Amino acid sequence: MSCRAIQHHLSSFLEGDLSETQSSEVNQHMATCGTCAAKMTEARHSRTRFLSALHALPALPAPRELATRLQVLASHEIERVQGRREFSSATRRWWMRAQISMRDLMRPLALPAAGGVLSSVACFSMLASSLTFPQQFANDIPLGFTTQVQVDQLSPFGYTGHDVVMELTIDKNGKVADYAARGSVTRDDMKQLGNLILFTSFAPATAFGQPTSGKILLRSHRINVRG
């Protein structure tokens, strides 16, 4: 190993970071080369001085306010930890106490309460047969029903034409929406029928209480009044 190589490996050698063969080579060189040996001694000394100086770096006393801050932090944490623990144990204690007081309350009450319930059931079953309830359905809308169109008021004008059957469609407002006549109808008859329809008022059909459109059949007869 040359002096240059030794220089290169000096610090690694001192740190004990060379392989065994390399360090033995360095040692061999040291035995023969005075300059390198001197340099090595110097380097070793400086390394020791340097490391001891690093070691001797004084411990820096932490500022007093840091201790206070840490104490405050610790007390907060203790409170937090204990608080959490206490919360769970307090809930458990509260639950047990509630169970005990519930049992204490229910034990003396159990017999009277059961007696009360039984007697009320007995009373009710005896009286149930004789109970009647007054019913008032006068103003009730017949819900489940449909009603047909009805003639509210017939026209005051008579009809003197032929017999005829009319099919009228009445809308939900009670107005005639359409009409159709069956049988032999003359023009004059038709006119009379028109008047008849016009002056007759209808009650619309209802479904579940709501007015809706519907159909009605009207049969007209000639009415002869003798006299």
Partner 1 sequence: MLSYEDAQLIAGLREGVESSYEMLISRFQQPVYNLAYRLLNDSGDACDVTQEVFLKVFRNVKQFQGKSSLRTWVYRIAVNESHNRRRWLFRHRHKEVGLQEDFVDESEPRDRSLADGARSPYDRAFDREKQVLLEEALSRINPSFREAVVLRDVEDLSYDEIAEILQISMGTVKSRILRGREALRLQLTARISPELQLRECL
Residue among 3, 7, 8, 11 that touches partner 1 (CB under 8 A): 11
Element (H, E) at 201: strand 201-203
Q: State which of positions 72-131 bind partner 1 (CB under 8 A).
A: 73-75, 77-78, 80-82, 85
Residue among 69, 97, 175, 182 that touches partner 1 (CB under 8 A): 69
- Torsion from C-alpha of 208, 211, 215, 221, nearest 10 degrees: 110
Residue 115 Cβ vs partner 1, minimum distance, rounded to whole Å: 52
Closer residue to partner 1 in complex, CB, 77/163: 77
- Segment interacting with partner 1, rule: CB under 8 A, options 67-75, 120-128, 204-212, 219-227: 67-75
Q: How many residues bind partner 1 (CB under 8 A)?
A: 33
Closer residue to partner 1 in complex, CB, 39/172: 39
Q: Judged by CB under 8 A, does residue 17 bind partner 1?
A: yes
Q: Judged by CB under 8 A, does residue 61 bind partner 1?
A: yes
CA distance 156 to 200: 8
- Segment interacting with partner 1, rule: CB under 8 A, options 56-64, 136-144, 174-182, 189-197: 56-64
Closer residue to partner 1 in complex, CB, 60/143: 60
CA distance 16 to 88: 58
Q: Judged by CB under 8 A, does residue 60 bind partner 1?
A: yes
- Segment interacting with partner 1, rule: CB under 8 A, options 25-33, 60-68, 179-187, 198-206: 60-68
**Burial annotation 47-61 (CB, 10 A radius, 16+ → b, else e):** eeeeeeeeeeeeeee
Residue 29 Cβ vs partner 1, minimum distance, rounded to whole Å: 21
Residue 55 Cβ vs partner 1, minimum distance, rounded to whole Å: 6
Per residue, the 3-state secondary structure of 134-197, as one string, reads CCCCCCCCCCCCEECCEEEECCCCCCCCCCEEEEEEECCCCCEEEEEEECCCCHHHHHHHHHHH
Distance (Å) of CA 7 to CA 1, 3, 36, 48: 10, 6, 8, 18
Closer residue to partner 1 in complex, CB, 55/103: 55
What φ, ψ does residue 211 adopt, rounded to 5°?
-65, 145
**Listed residue (215, 210, 212, 207) closest to 144, CA to CA:** 207
CA distance 184 to 126: 72
Which residue ranges make up the site for partner 1 (CB under 8 A)? 11-12, 15, 17, 46, 50-51, 53-63, 65-67, 69-71, 73-75, 77-78, 80-82, 85
